Structure 1
Amino acid sequence: MRPGDSERVRSLPLFASLDERSYAAITGPAFLQRFPANTQLLLEGDPVDFLYVLIDGQVELSGTWNDKDTVLTILRPVSTFILAAVVLDAVALMGARVLDRSNILMIPGEAIRARMAEDAAFAVAVSKELSGCYRGLVRTIKNQKLRSGVERLANYLLQLHARAGGADLFSLPHEKRILASLLGMAPENLSRAFQALKPYGVEVNGSDVHLRLVADLRRLAKPDPLIEKPFDNSHEARAEYQAEMSAAWRSA
């Protein structure tokens, strides 16, 4: 790895508390690989031999059933994924596909499990990471089950508004087909949800969104700190924020 890449990996909450000996033991047998766009890294049911660390590019995590498929999340750097499967030495519950040309550090699962058994600090770091992921899953389930599609979209737009530093004009990070899947709705329902938000000042032009009546949108959305991901610098916030919608999906 380039020195700058190593520093970025080292700064992840999962590795930040490790001493140099433990970090070297984990990353020593790892290797960095470049994947072209549209490479399938994992299929559901595949054995998981590595913990993946996305350094550059984008990775889509997805699920399928009965000829249906859905996008669970889109990962951006720097993110780990498939941690729970590595810890349990279990098969993958979701597929992973490279969207853009990506650099991915692949750490053998045996090295992760061996270090957990030998290094209590690393075992605690893994526990904290998975705990943050579990809390992300709870937030996602509450969002899906307690809110309508229009309310989910309204809260998602308010999150983008916050990430943009409060700017009223910003761009959607995904094409609308993927966004619909992330929000748990069909593409045609997403279009109807955008139409339903027009009276609340939501204007959409392609991927550009303009929020003209933020206060009205917030009254409709009723954002809840027990559902929305935090934006502070706590361990919980860092753990939950690494995946686009929920850190839970990157651990499974």
Structure 2
Amino acid sequence: MRAAEKPEIAALPFFASMAPDERERIFSASFLQVFPPSLKLFDAGQKPDFLHILIDGMVELFTGNGDRTTTMAIIRPVRSFILAASYTDQPYLMSARTLTASRILMIPSPLVRETIDNDRALMRGAMQELAFGFRYFVRALTDMKLRQSVERLGNYLLVESDERGGAFQFEIPIEKRTLASLLGMTPENLSRAFGALAAHGALVEGSTVQIVDRDRLVAFVRPDPNPVRDEIW
């Protein structure tokens, strides 16, 4: 990592409270790289050589069985992935690839484990990251089990709106085929679900979403009563 990059990275929540000497030891051994879109970063089953921290861009976590694949999560800045594998030195359960040009900090996993054991501030940051990940997947599993496909799509649009301060118009940030996979749908079902949402207060044209009747959409979706806040990836 270049010296000019260190102040920006040091201010990130994961590092901000660390002892300066421990933080510098991590920075001295880490790599900050820019990756192009659609680049696979690692495969499921691979041992984790690095902890990845997304600084800019967007990353897809996905898994597969035979010729079937599914999107598990979309990572947005600033988040680590996949800390559980890096800390336990167990194989990745998911693969990762960039969706856009992405700037990623790569910290050697042995150094992550050693520093977490020695620095209480980093330990707290690591626990928070693991808690965020746990809560994300509980919400995703609840969504899959309790909502029909159109309701899942409507809930996704409400979350995206909330992430933008309650915006009534915004662009879907990922390709529709990736969105379909994330929501457990086929692209054809996703297209039909977009059409069905018109009766529930949301219009979609291309990648542009307009929430024309938020109250109607909320009544249809029945969103989680506990706000997502910042645990969403």
Structure 1 spans left out of the alignment, 5+ residues: 231-236, 244-252
The residue correspondences of 1:33-182 to structure 2 (distance < 5 A) are: 33-182=33-182
1:11 aligns with 2:11: yes
CA-to-partner distance for each residue in 1:136-190, whole Å, 9 max, x for gaps? 2211111111111111111111122222333322111112111111112111111
- Aligned mates of 2:63, 2:95 — CA distance in 1: 6
Q: 1:168 to 1:100 in 2, by over 3 A?
A: closer
Which structure 2 residues correspond to residues 238-249 of structure 1 after superposition, within 5 A? Answer: 240-241=231-232, 243=233
Aligned to 2:203: 203
SS at match of 2:73: strand
Determine the structure 1 residue equivalent to 2:228: 229
Alpha-carbon deviations, 1:65-99, whole Å to 9, x = none?
A: 12101122232333211111010011111111123
RMSD: 1.9
Deviation at 1:4, TM superposition (A): 6.8
**Partners of 1:175 and 1:124 in 2: how far apart?**
35
Offset, 1:11: 3.3
Aligned residue number for residue 247 of structure 1? none
> Is contact 2:80–2:129 with CA below 8 Å preserved after alignment?
no
Return the alpha-carbon distance in structure 1 between the equivalents of residues 118 and 166 of structure 2: 45
Q: Do the aligned residues in 2 keep the contact of 1:13 with 1:129 (CA within 8 Å)?
A: no
Matched AA of 1:24: E
* CA apart distance, 1:58: 2.6
Structure 1 Cα separation of the partners of residues 112 and 58 of structure 2: 23
Q: Which residue identity does 1:94 align to in structure 2? A: M
Q: After TM superposition, give the deviation of residue 2 of structure 1 in Å.
A: 5.6
Sequence identity (%): 44
Higher relative contact order (CA 8 A, sep 6+): 1
**SS at 1:14 equivalent:** coil
Change (3 A) 1:20 1:174: same
* Residues 159 and 3 of structure 1: CA distance in aligned 2, closer, same or farther (over 3 Å): farther
